[in-house]
Amino acid sequence: MIHPEIEKRKTFAIISHPDAGKTTLTEKFLLFGGAINTAGAVKRNKANQSNTSDFMEIEKQRGISVATSVMGFEYSGKRINILDTPGHKDFAEDTYRTLSAVDSVILVVDCVKGVEEQTEKLMSVCRMRNTPVIIFINKMDREGKDAFDLLDEIESKLNISLCPLSWPIGQGHTFKGVYSIYNKHLNLFEPDKAKISAPVIEVNDLNDENLNKFLKPKELDGLKGDLELVHGVYGDLDKSMYIEGLLAPVFFGSAINNFGIKELLDTFINIAPSPKGREAEQREVAAEEKNFSGFVFKIHANLDPKHRDRIAFMRVCSGKFERNKFYYHTRQDKKLKFSNPMDFMANEKSIVEEAWPGDVVGLYDSGNFKIGDTLTEGEKLQFKGIPSFSPEIFKELENRDPLKTKQLEKGIQQLTEEGVAQLFIMQPGNRKVVGAVGELQFEVIAFRLEHEYGAKAAFRMLSYTRSNWVTSKDKTKMAEFLKRKQAHIGADKDGNPVYLADNEFMINMTMRDYPDIEFHKTSEFK
């Protein structure tokens, strides 16, 4: 039997290409949940300016990006945890890691733009883990693509089967609202950007007399015709296919106008999976197990430079987490207890006494945690599912102030542990090579090294564009490979060897020359 505390939880992320409406949708969910009273309470996670000081300023104002990292609220008897992901593509890896801590996602698509570059990337990450996905097609108040065309585009570009569970009535200036196919219910709202007002009309079937007052006969006929076609083409929802990540339910709406949000939220809490267990290197851990276990998927620096403390975000995987109880840090082989673990409700954080699977707890950390670290009640477990991916830009870190060498060492160590970028140590000379997806990450590192650690760093561009983790069953062959290719070998955060290459061609050549060496695209290959 599933524990009621587990069954009542839904932990998910809202993801989208920047500007599709992720923040607006998050905000509307919080409004429906009564967690906030007015729009504008959720700070926009915008770093579209690829300018570092703007970026840091935004982070500071958010204050908080800590508080908005997780937003919990109660709705209809459920405890809902929304995990925030950065919108900027340079922080894609942060998003990947956050997705390891959710049980499902809502993917927002802009009806004018359709499937965009980030949409495809994010979908491929969900695919890797078979994460169930619900798609919300937003901005139906704008003259966008036709609903059927959008479904075709999504189905083919994202390579997933779809099943619409709501349907738009009109579009653009004729957009009236959405009909809930799932609940066979129609709510028509007044557009309202600031708050949620009661629906102006609620009907339970399409033959309701009331409908004629709000919809023109043509609109009603159009809706009925569409729904027949939708049913014929897409059929009923196969929930098990959704849970397996093979089929995505689709909702239409306009987040800013509150159209289609309630339909989405009400169906979401019904069909989205409750917290599932996770796979550890040693075994599968079920959420229902009695003993507590959890893993750190994100570390956030305290943005006040006077306090070096960090906050480690831990997802509870099984059992019950309790404040002031000793837990086992499996990598460091030591016991730790937490006197001020944090819970995140909407925009507020408070001390939490206990937490259940699916919950995210913020742990004050003075340097004990790395991303991926596991806590248990004593069992030696290491959760899987947070691989490092190949960076795309590699630069050597140069120390510009020899008197601050120690600060630089400590700073780069801590920043890379936080996951801001990846660090590879190369020989000879213990050279530090930083790998990232985008330029903004390097700027953030240089800025933070200077402002938080007092160190001065510069970066020298290297020609590498990808990394492969290397292993071999043959120790002698491996040693020979590492020696011969020394100029291309770096050690990652765990000391594992990584082969750095300029391009795919070079990797293929090397693979051909060294058939006994195995090349892996991510750090997790066991």
Q: Write out the binding residues for GTP.
A: 16-23, 84-88, 138-141
Binding of residue 359 to ligand GDP (CB under 6 A): no
Q: How far is the CB of 37 from ligand GDP (least distance, A)?
A: 18
Site for ligand GDP in 485-514 (CB under 6 A): none
User: Which range in 15-23, 174-182, 314-322, 482-490 contacts ligand GDP by CB under 6 A?
Assistant: 15-23
Binding of residue 68 to ligand GDP (CB under 6 A): no
Residue 50 and residue 280 in contact, taking contact as beta carbons nearer than 8 Å: no
Task: Please spell the DSSP secondary structure of 411-474, one letter per residue.
Answer: HHHHHHHTTSSEEEEETTTTEEEEEESSHHHHHHHHHHHHHHH---EEEEE-S--EEEEEE-S-
3-state SS, residue 81:
strand
Nearer to ligand GDP, 80 or 111 (CB): 111
Beta bridge partners of 133: 105
Nearer to ligand GDP, 268 or 514 (CB): 268
Among 13, 20, 265, 426, binds ligand GDP (CB under 6 A): 20
Among 5, 6, 24, 165, binds ligand GDP (CB under 6 A): 24
Q: How far is the CB of 25 from ligand GDP (least distance, A)?
A: 7
Q: How far is the CB of 519 from ligand GDP (least distance, A)?
A: 36
Structure tokens at 495: 């000391």
Q: Give the Cα separation of 210 and 228 in Å (integer).
A: 21
Q: What binding mask, one character per residue, do residues 27-46 give for ligand GDP by CB under 6 A, x or -?
A: -----------------x--
Q: How far is CA 452 from CA 81, 304, 309, 402, 412, in A?
A: 31, 8, 11, 17, 11
User: Which range in 13-21, 216-224, 358-366, 382-390 contacts ligand GDP by CB under 6 A?
Assistant: 13-21
Enumerate residues 6+ apart whose C-beta is below 8 A from 177.
Answer: 168, 169, 186, 187, 188, 189, 259, 260
Among 11, 23, 374, 510, binds ligand GDP (CB under 6 A): 23
**Which residues are documented as binding site?**
16-23, 84-88, 138-141
DSSP 195: S
Residue 437 and residue 393 in contact, taking contact as beta carbons nearer than 8 Å: yes
Residue carrying the six token digits 């939490």: 352
Nearer to ligand GDP, 137 or 375 (CB): 137
Q: How far is CA 279 from CA 238, 285, 322, 338, 387, in A?
A: 26, 6, 22, 25, 13
Q: How far is the CB of 102 from ligand GDP (least distance, A)?
A: 17
Residue 158 and residue 115 in contact, taking contact as beta carbons nearer than 8 Å: yes
CA angle 248, 7, 187 (to 5 degrees): 55
Binding of residue 116 to ligand GDP (CB under 6 A): no
Enumerate residues 6+ apart whose C-beta is below 8 A from 304.
Answer: none
Nearer to ligand GDP, 71 or 256 (CB): 256
DSSP 20: S
Binding of residue 21 to ligand GDP (CB under 6 A): yes
Structure tokens at 483: 């020696």
Q: How far is the CB of 254 from ligand GDP (least distance, A)?
A: 3
Long-range (24+ apart) CB contacts under 8 A made by 266-270 are 266/76, 266/180, 266/183, 267/165, 267/166, 267/180, 267/182, 267/183, 268/10, 268/12, 268/106, 268/134, 269/10, 269/75, 269/76, 269/78, 269/80, 270/182
Nearer to ligand GDP, 138 or 468 (CB): 138
Nearer to ligand GDP, 109 or 299 (CB): 109
Q: Give the Cα separation of 78 and 270 in Å (integer).
A: 10
Among 7, 19, 288, 480, binds ligand GDP (CB under 6 A): 19
Nearer to ligand GDP, 118 or 422 (CB): 118
Nearer to ligand GDP, 22 or 466 (CB): 22
Nearer to ligand GDP, 45 or 376 (CB): 45
User: Which range in 11-19, 214-222, 231-239, 406-414 contacts ligand GDP by CB under 6 A?
Assistant: 11-19
Among 16, 100, 407, 441, binds ligand GDP (CB under 6 A): 16
Q: Which H or E element spans position 406?
A: helix 405-417
Among 22, 298, 370, 432, binds ligand GDP (CB under 6 A): 22
Q: How far is the CB of 22 from ligand GDP (least distance, A)?
A: 3
3-state SS, residue 145:
coil
**Count of chain residues binding ligand GDP (CB under 6 A):** 18
Binding of residue 114 to ligand GDP (CB under 6 A): no
Q: How far is the CB of 15 from ligand GDP (least distance, A)?
A: 9
Q: How far is the CB of 301 from ligand GDP (least distance, A)?
A: 23
Residue 48 and residue 18 in contact, taking contact as beta carbons nearer than 8 Å: yes
Binding of residue 98 to ligand GDP (CB under 6 A): no
Site for ligand GDP in 120-179 (CB under 6 A): 138-139, 141-142
Nearer to ligand GDP, 116 or 289 (CB): 116
Nearer to ligand GDP, 173 or 473 (CB): 173
Q: Give the Cα separation of 208 and 273 in Å (integer).
A: 33
Q: Give the Cα separation of 436 and 438 in Å (integer).
A: 6
Site for ligand GDP in 236-295 (CB under 6 A): 254-257
Q: How far is the CB of 27 from ligand GDP (least distance, A)?
A: 8
Nearer to ligand GDP, 118 or 390 (CB): 118
Structure tokens at 411: 């700073």
Enumerate residues 6+ apart whose C-beta is below 8 A from 417.
Answer: 299, 369, 370, 371, 493
Q: Give the Cα separation of 142 and 171 in Å (integer).
A: 7
For binding to ligand GDP (CB under 6 A), which residues are involved? 16, 18-24, 44, 87, 138-139, 141-142, 254-257
